[in-house]
Amino acid sequence: EHVVNLILTVDRMPDHISGYDLLMEVKKSPKLNHLPVVITSVDRIPERVKKCLDGGAKDYIQKPIDYTDVPRILRYI
């Protein structure tokens, strides 16, 4: 077992899964649903951001992630 404190994922991943799809799987899992999920993307499409945040993501951060974003991400741990 690994200790996981945060899931940081991208919105668009290979193999037709999205960050939102991963978020939904995490939220359905009794073992994982307590973990904060932060989604990153090169696109900042307002509807997609809203969908992810409404689905339970803690944050949606535009890539590339800047060093100033790190404290913001770490505060969810």
Residue 34 belongs to domain with CATH number: 3.40.50.2300
| Res 1: pLDDT | 72
Strand segments (E) across the chain: 7-10, 37-41, 59-62
- Domain boundaries, position 22: 7-65
Residues 51 and 18: beta-carbon distance below 8 Å = no
- For Cα atoms 34, 13, 60, give the angle at the middle one, nearest 5 degrees: 50
Does 16 fall in a domain? yes
pTM above 0.85, yes or no: yes
pLDDT over 90 (residue 73) = yes
Does 73 fall in a domain? no
Other CB atoms within 10 Å distance of the CB of residue 9: 19
Does 76 fall in a domain? no
Does 77 fall in a domain? no
pLDDT digits (tens, 9 = 90+) for 16-50: 789 999 999 999 999 999 999 999 999 889 999 99
Does 18 fall in a domain? yes
Residues 72 and 59: beta-carbon distance below 8 Å = yes
Does 27 fall in a domain? yes
| Res 12: pLDDT | 84
